[in-house]
Amino acid sequence: MEYVNQAIDALKDGFGQINHPQGLIIALIAALLMPSWKQWLIMALLATAAHIAVNYLPGILQGHGLPNFMEQAFWTQTLAYFLGYLIIIGVFFFLKSLVARGGGAAKAH
C-alpha cells in the first residue's frame, strides 16, 4: 500500500508542477501535434525535455553551467514532470479527439 501512496504522491507532484502557464502551453502544443494515442508516451517525453530546456537554458547561456544530472533530486523532478505531462497531454488530446469527432458527426446529420 505504501508504494501505491508514493505513486499517487508522484502523480500529484507532477500534475501540480505542470499546472502552470509554461507547462500548460508545452502540453497544449504537444497534444495538438500528437496524431494518435500511440505517440502519447513519446510526446510526454519530448514535452519533459522541452520543459527542462526552457528551465535550464537561460542559466546555461549565462554561464552557470549544466544542471547536476547525477543528483537524485534532478531525476525525481524530471520524473514528476514526465508524469504531469502524461496526465495533461492525455486530457488535452482526449478533448481534441472529442472536438474533432464531434465536429464531423454534426456535419453528417
The pLDDT tens digits of the residues spanning 24-33 come to: 999 999 999 9
Residue 89 counted as domain residue: yes
Is-contact 46 30, C-beta < 8 A? yes
Instruction: Using the predicted structure, report yes or no on whether residue 91 has a pLDDT greater than 90.
Output: yes
Kindly calculate the radius of gyration of the chain based on its CA atoms and give it in whole angstroms. 17
Report the pLDDT value the prediction gives residue 104, as an integer from 0 to 100: 54
Between residues 35 and 61, the one the model is more confident about:
35
Is-contact 87 19, C-beta < 8 A? no
18-53 pLDDT per residue, tens: 668 899 999 999 999 999 999 999 999 999 999 999
Domain total in the chain: 1
Q: Which domain holds residue 74?
A: 13-102
- In which band, very low, low, confident or very high, does the pLDDT at 15 lie, cut at 50, 70 and 90? low
The chain-wide mean pLDDT, for the chain, equals: 85
Residue 109 counted as domain residue: no
Residue 90 counted as domain residue: yes
Dist CA 48 CA 86 (whole Å): 10
The three-point CA angle 11-15-20 to 5° equals 165
Instruction: Using the predicted structure, report yes or no on whether residue 88 has a pLDDT greater than 80.
Output: yes
> What one-letter code names the amino acid at 14?
G
